[in-house]
Structures are given as structure tokens and as C-alpha cells.
Amino acid sequence: MSLVEELRRRRELFINLTQRELKGKYKRTVLGRLWSLANPLALMVVYSFVFAFIIRATPDPGDPSGLNVFPLWLLCGLLPWLYFANTVNQGMGSLITNEALIKKVYFPRYLLVFSSAAAVVVNWITEMVVLVIAIVIAGAWQVLLWTPAVLVAMLILAAFTLGITLMLAIANVYFRDTQYLVTILLQLGLYLAPIIYPISMVAQQSDRIGPLFGDVTLLQIYQLNPFARFAEIFRSLLYDNAWPRVDDVVSCAVWAIVSLTIGWLVFSRHEKKLAELL
């Protein structure tokens, strides 16, 4: 039975698990899911002050949108990153959190990871809708024409993220140190991708330093980070209102396919042992 067919058969369980994740996170809060906007907005204020006014790492205006609003430029890269980080953090611990359920009854264990990821996607969609509205208010109404392409980019990032999360969820069962190590790596990752500063700053330093060895430059090494390309794709579509570079799209699509394939193979191989390992 294919994964799609099994998901269709188990869709009611999947929906219930996802609703449980959404309701449990904001249970007994006054603002409910509006709290999902609090973190990116707070980070936007802090990073905008530090990088726009102190470090003055201002990006070029959007071309051809003409946008020149640093907080909006920042959110175009920050929201995808926060989606990735939140999905990995929550999905990585989903098996351990549901240890009692796994030991009590059989069901496809991947649904726990999938439902955790789906709950973050719901919040991410809300955040992206608010961002698009803000961009329209800022004067770049053309962003509405690019929303189908943005949805495709979101799907590619979701596939890449799900693959990583499946692998880390299994690793966290075997080695509980995984969650602590990954938390540190995610904190570092925010600064190792052009999320809070423009990639042009890296290009300038790369040109100043020259080739590191052979013909390999600092910029080429930097772009080995898949999120450097994901951030550029979202900024091209949302902030510039232009097609992203073809090599960025191809690279991200390949990363997504490889990540999801390996993640699924790793998870499938260890899924039957989870009740014993936990």
C-alpha cells in the first residue's frame, strides 16, 4: 500500500492528531493561535533595530517591486526559517512525547511526526497571509500575482523539512542528546543563512578574500547551506515580485526530494522497533 493510500485511510486519525496539537499548544490562552504571530513580530522588531539601525545591513530595494521596508524584507526570510526550526523542534520530540500512546496501541507512528508538522504548517500559513497583506498595504500589490508560486515554494520547503524531521525523530529515540544538539545547531543556523542580513554582504566578503582554495570561494561554500537558497527564493517571490534564479529552485527541489526520501526510508526501517526502544 502506498503512503498516499494509507494517509487517505488514516485521514481521520491524522486530522484528530493535528487538531490535538493545535488545541493543546494554546489551551487556556486568551489570544489562542494569535500567539503564533508574537514570536516572529518580536524577532522582527529586535533584528530590525540591530541590523537596520546599528549594523546598517540594509538590503537593496525590491526589484521590480520597489519595496524598501527592512521589516518586510526580514520577515520574507524569517517566517520560512521559523517554520523550519519549529517543525524540527516539535516533530523531533513527537515520538518521545507520545511514548505512552505508542506502547498502548498500534497505528502508523509516522502520523505523530506528520501531525506535528501539519500543526506548524497551519500557523505558518496564517503568518504568511498576514505578511502578504502587509506587503500589499506597503504598495506592492503585485505580490498577489505571485502567491501561487509562493505556495509551491512552501510545499518544497515543507517536504525538505519533513524529511529532516523524520530522521531526527528516530535519532532522538536512540540518542536523547539529539534534541539538545539540534537546538544549538538551529540557533547557529539563523546566522549561517541570509535571513537577518542580505547575501550581498557575504558576496562582498567573498570577493574581498578571493578564492579559499583552487577556484572555490567563500560564497560557494556558503551556498552549500540549502536554506541560503530557500531564503533567496522566498525573497524573490515576496519582496522582489520576480522569478527566483533557476539554479536556486532546482537546488531546493533536489534537496527536498533527497531529504524526504532518506527521511522516509530511515523512519520506515526503525518504525516497528519504536515501542521496544521507548
pLDDT at 92: 93
**Half-sphere exposure (Cβ direction) of 65: Cα atoms closer than 13 Å:** 29
Residue 27: per-residue pLDDT: 65
Span 154-161, mean pLDDT? 97
> pLDDT-derived band of residue 14, with 50, 70 and 90 as boundaries?
confident
pLDDT of residue 54: 72
Amino acid (1-letter code) at residue 35: W
Q: What percent of the chain has pLDDT over 90?
A: 45
What are residue 216's DSSP bridge partners?
A: 213
Lowest mean pLDDT among 20-24, 34-38, 79-83, 87-91: 34-38
Q: Residue 150: is its pLDDT beyond 80?
A: yes
The pLDDT score that the predictor gives to residue 8 is 77
pLDDT band with cut points at 50, 70 and 90 for residue 9: confident
Q: CA-CA distance, 152 to 123, in Å (whole number)?
A: 17
* Each residue's pLDDT tens digit, 98-125: 888 888 877 788 899 999 999 999 989 9
Whole-Å CA distances, 214 to 75, 154, 210, 211, 247: 36, 36, 10, 6, 22
Average pLDDT, the chain: 87
- Answer for the pair 21, 33: CB distance below 8 angstroms, yes or no: no
Q: Which residues pair with 213 in a beta bridge?
A: 216
Looking at residue 141, what is its pLDDT?
92
DSSP 90-155: HHHTHHHHTHHHHHHS---THHHHHHHHHHHHHHHHHHHHHHHHHHHHTT-GGGGGGHHHHHHHHH
| Residues 213-241: tens digit of each pLDDT | 878 888 889 989 999 999 999 999 999 99
